[in-house]
């Protein structure tokens, strides 16, 4: 039963997520061989252009989790100020207090060992609803969101429809 | 491995025990407190957990106040409460399950609704709203691997624990003793390992956790406290001196400097946390813990320099898309068909339980049925909750 703190804790989080999953969120390890690689599905929040969409993502955990946060990457195209064109998500909860890529971030919003996969996914859902256009990961998307909101929303809605095969 | 979870209570007649159990667990490891220590900011964590956090960034994980290891104090009362709760848990849980089975009360399901507070601020605790909705998500696909037709009622499962302790055929193995039994029975069986008077051949945690107030008392007064180790200022030490230090301590001296430093810091944490404990371990056990650390965290330091923050660099590079979609097909179909339905019904106002959702559930016979069956089960066995891609 040799298992590290990280794998025990990930297992426990998975247990909790399975027995009481938050609405619109699903997450778990890709396979039983590697508890450090998870996949997640996030539903687009209601009342936003992402509504109706289902967005797959992967989470990669460091071996010293939860001392340090996982990285999260969408596995689909997603047009959003806080998501790099590669799909990598850039929000404060995914940054350890030590690193400071975005100076506006409060230390209190950052990663801490008491955060969890569930809290990350909830933060990402709320990020979809409310982008943060200060030091954006996708500059073009941030610009469009700021200056041409209608166009931004249309573009997102279109990709959601395409993703569902309705377009 | 402790596989009990606070959310277990959500499916019983006493869902309010979930936050009680959450409060008895460390927020870093999510396990029951092991040698709880209180910080200067009055937050409590396992000794080893808070020591590791302080080594990592010098701050309390809850409130981010700077703190030092020397200022940590034991929190004996919390230890006693945790011990007592762990003794009571098996009987509490079977009682709660039995009642659930006898009463005609509708079973609470565990799907939670994200409300505004969830989205706006930190939800403090995982247990917020118990909601009566069909559970989708992993449960539905996991159900493929369970033997639904013969799934016992909670009541039967309790019996099954007793029975299957003797006949060793079943589809799941106890992660502690390896005995085989029906999946549904594993959790209840696991509790027998914690029972103070249950004969178990493999007291994994008992030596440490043997819950008796006297143990705490005696070890405090009679036994000479185990030795503590001082921190080192690594920046002043040359590699040779550092290696010598490690070898004096009897721990491995291999690897690059960054690994030596982290290994030494981990060893200090293990030793000092052990000195805090009312049930100290032998040096051999501590070395085993260090070995576990070396083979997980240590190995990733050695292979990637110092890039633990960058999870990507130490993880599997190629994402197996096929396996992923196989695993998730039922989740996916459920979410997507739900989305399609709402997409078609476009302009109508939507809430949970809207007509669109109902349609989805009717279309999706398979997953609805399995979700219902799962609701009737006492618990999901941990050993088999991780899905196989060949299930779907
Ligand atoms: Zn802990
Ligand atoms: Zn604190
Ligand atoms: Zn066993």
pLDDT of residue A41 exceeding 70, the answer is yes
pLDDT band per the 50, 70, 90 thresholds, residue A155: very high
pLDDT of res. A139: 95
Question: For residue range B78-115, what is the model confidence (pLDDT) as tens digits?
Answer: 999 999 999 999 999 888 887 767 665 444 454 555 54
Question: For residue range B274-284, what is the model confidence (pLDDT) as tens digits?
Answer: 999 999 999 99
Please give the sequence-ordered ranges of beta strands (E in DSSP) within chain A, or none if there are none: 25-31, 34-43, 54-60, 71-74
pLDDT of res. A23: 93
pLDDT of res. A129: 95
pLDDT band per the 50, 70, 90 thresholds, residue B194: low
User: Which of B295-299, B321-325, B338-342 has maximum average pLDDT?
Assistant: B295-299
Nearest chain B Cα to A162, which residue? B340
pLDDT of res. A100: 57
| B positions 177-236 inside 8 Å of A (CB) | 204
pTM value > 0.90: no
Q: Does A108 contact B at CB distance below 8 Å?
A: yes
Do residues B43 and B26 lie in contact, with contact meaning Cβ atoms separated by under 8 Å? no
> Once rounded to an integer, what is the mean pLDDT over residues B7-13?
89
Task: Find the largest Cα–Cα distance for chain B.
Answer: 75
pLDDT of res. B377: 36
Mutation pick from B61, B315, B333, B381 vs chain A, by most beta carbons of A within 10 Å, is B315
Do residues B253 and B275 lie in contact, with contact meaning Cβ atoms separated by under 8 Å? no
Q: Which two tokens stand for residue B44?
A: 């409590």
pLDDT band per the 50, 70, 90 thresholds, residue B154: very low
Do residues B61 and A112 lie in contact, with contact meaning Cβ atoms separated by under 8 Å? yes
Comma-separated ranges of CATH 3.30.40.10 domains in chain B: 1-74
With pLDDT > 70 as the criterion, what percentage of chain A qualifies? 90
pLDDT band per the 50, 70, 90 thresholds, residue B195: very low
Distance of residue A2 Cα from the nearest chain B Cα, in angstroms: 6
- The CATH class of the B1-74 domain is alpha beta
User: Taking CA B9 as the corner, what is the angle to CA B4 and CA B15, rounded to the nearest 5 degrees?
Assistant: 160
pLDDT of residue A160 exceeding 50, the answer is yes
Query: What span, in angstroms and rounded, lies between the C-alpha atoms of A117 and A38?
Result: 10
Query: What span, in angstroms and rounded, lies between the C-alpha atoms of A20 and B185?
Result: 20
Q: Does A53 contact B at CB distance below 8 Å?
A: yes
In DSSP terms, A72 is beta-bridged to A59
Question: For residue range B236-289, what is the model confidence (pLDDT) as tens digits?
Answer: 899 999 999 999 999 999 999 999 999 999 999 999 999 999 999 999 999 999
Q: Which two tokens stand for residue B370?
A: 């399995």
User: Which of B4-8, B78-82, B329-333 has maximum average pLDDT?
Assistant: B78-82
Distance of residue A81 Cα from the nearest chain B Cα, in angstroms: 19
pLDDT band per the 50, 70, 90 thresholds, residue A4: confident
pLDDT of residue B199 exceeding 50, the answer is no
pLDDT of residue B196 exceeding 80, the answer is no
Do residues A94 and A70 lie in contact, with contact meaning Cβ atoms separated by under 8 Å? yes
Determine whether A90 is an active site residue.
yes
Give the active site residue among A90, A124, A137, A160: A90
Question: For residue range A96-151, what is the model confidence (pLDDT) as tens digits?
Answer: 876 655 555 565 678 999 999 999 999 999 999 999 988 899 999 999 999 999 99
Question: For residue range B294-319, what is the model confidence (pLDDT) as tens digits?
Answer: 998 898 888 875 444 433 332 333 33
CA of B233 to the centre of ligand 2 (A): 25
Query: What span, in angstroms and rounded, lies between the C-alpha atoms of B20 and B31?
Result: 13
Q: What is the 3-state secondary structure (H, E, C) of chain B?
A: CCCCCHHHHHHCCCCCHHHHHHHCECCCCCCECCCEEECCCCCEEEHHHHHHHHHHHCECCCCCCECCHHHCEECHHHHHHHHHHHHHHHHHHHHHHHHHHHCCCCCCCCCECCCHHHHHCCCCCCCCCCCCCCCCCHHHHHHHHCCHHHCCCHHHHHHHHHHHCCCCCCCEECCCCCCEECHHHHHHHHHHHHCCCCCCCCCCCHHHHCCCHHHHHHHHHCCCCCCCCCCCCHHHCCHHHHHHHHHHHCCCCCCCHHHHHHHHHHHHHHHHHHHHCCCCCCHHHHHHHHHHHHHHHHHHHHHHCCCCCCHHHHCCCCCCHHHHHHHHHHHHHHHHHHHHHHHHCCCCCCCCCCHHHHHHHHHCHHHHHHHHHHHHCCCCCHHHCCCCHHHC
Query: What span, in angstroms and rounded, lies between the C-alpha atoms of B101 and B104?
Result: 8
Q: Which of A20, A24, A166 sits opposite B114 (nearest CB)?
A: A24
pLDDT of residue B116 exceeding 70, the answer is no
């Amino acid at each position: 039963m040799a298992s590290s703190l990280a794998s025990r804790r990930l297992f426990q989080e998975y247990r909790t997520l399975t027995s009481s999953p938050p609405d619109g969120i699903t997450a778990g390890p890709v396979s039983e061989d590697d508890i450090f690689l998870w996949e997640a599905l996030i539903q687009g929040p209601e009342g936003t252009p992402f509504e109706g969409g289902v967005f797959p993502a992967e989470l990669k955990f460091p071996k010293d989790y939860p001392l340090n946060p996982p990285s999260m990457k969408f596995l689909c195209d997603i047009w959003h100020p806080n998501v790099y064109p590669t799909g990598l998500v850039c929000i404060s909860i995914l940054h350890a207090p030590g690193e400071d890529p975005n100076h506006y971030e409060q230390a209190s919003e950052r990663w801490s060992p008491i955060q969890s996969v569930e809290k990350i996914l909830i933060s990402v859902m709320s990020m979809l609803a409310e982008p943060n256009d200060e030091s954006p990961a996708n500059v073009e998307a941030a610009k469009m969101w700021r200056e041409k909101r209608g166009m931004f929303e249309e573009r997102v809605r279109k990709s959601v429809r395409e993703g569902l095969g309705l377009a | 491995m402790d596989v009990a979870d606070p959310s277990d209570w959500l499916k019983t007649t006493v869902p309010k025990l979930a936050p009680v159990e959450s409060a008895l667990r460390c927020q870093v490891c999510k396990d029951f407190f092991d040698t709880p220590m209180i910080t200067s900011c009055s937050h409590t964590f396992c000794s080893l957990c808070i020591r590791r956090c302080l080594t990592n960034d010098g701050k309390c994980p809850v409130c981010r106040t700077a703190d030092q290891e020397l200022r940590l104090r034991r929190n004996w009362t919390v230890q006693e409460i945790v011990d007592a709760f762990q003794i009571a848990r098996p009987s509490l849980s079977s009682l709660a399950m039995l009642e659930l089975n006898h009463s005609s009360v509708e079973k609470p399901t565990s799907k939670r609704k994200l409300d505004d507070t969830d989205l706006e601020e930190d939800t403090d605790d995982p247990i917020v709203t118990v909601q009566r909705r069909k559970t989708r998500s992993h449960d539905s696909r996991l159900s493929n691997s369970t033997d639904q037709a013969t799934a016992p009622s909670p009541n039967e499962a309790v019996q099954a624990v007793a029975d299957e302790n003797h006949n060793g055929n079943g589809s799941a193995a106890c992660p502690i003793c390896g005995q085989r039994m029906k999946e549904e029975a594993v959790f209840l069986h696991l509790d027998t390992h914690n029972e103070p008077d249950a004969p178990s051949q493999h007291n994994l945690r008992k030596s440490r956790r043997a819950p008796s107030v006297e143990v705490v008392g005696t070890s405090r007064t009679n036994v000479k406290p185990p030795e503590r180790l001082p921190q080192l200022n690594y920046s002043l030490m040359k590699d040779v001196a550092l290696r010598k230090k490690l070898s004096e301590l009897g721990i491995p001296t291999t690897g690059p400097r960054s690994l030596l430093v982290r290994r030494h810091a981990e060893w200090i944490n293990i030793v000092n946390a052990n000195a805090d404990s009312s049930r100290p371990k032998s040096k051999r056990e501590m070395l085993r813990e260090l070995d576990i650390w070396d083979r997980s965290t240590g190995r990733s330091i050695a292979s990637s320099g110092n890039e633990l923050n960058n999870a990507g660099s130490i993880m599997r590079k190629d994402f197996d898309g096929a396996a992923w979609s196989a695993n998730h097909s039922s989740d996916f179909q459920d979410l997507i068909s739900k989305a399609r339905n709402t997409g078609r019904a476009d302009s109508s106002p939507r809430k949970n339980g809207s007509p669109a959702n109902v349609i989805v559930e009717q279309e999706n016979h398979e997953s609805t049925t399995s979700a219902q069956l799962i609701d009737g089960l006492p618990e999901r066995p941990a050993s088999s909750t991780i899905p196989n891609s060949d299930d779907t």
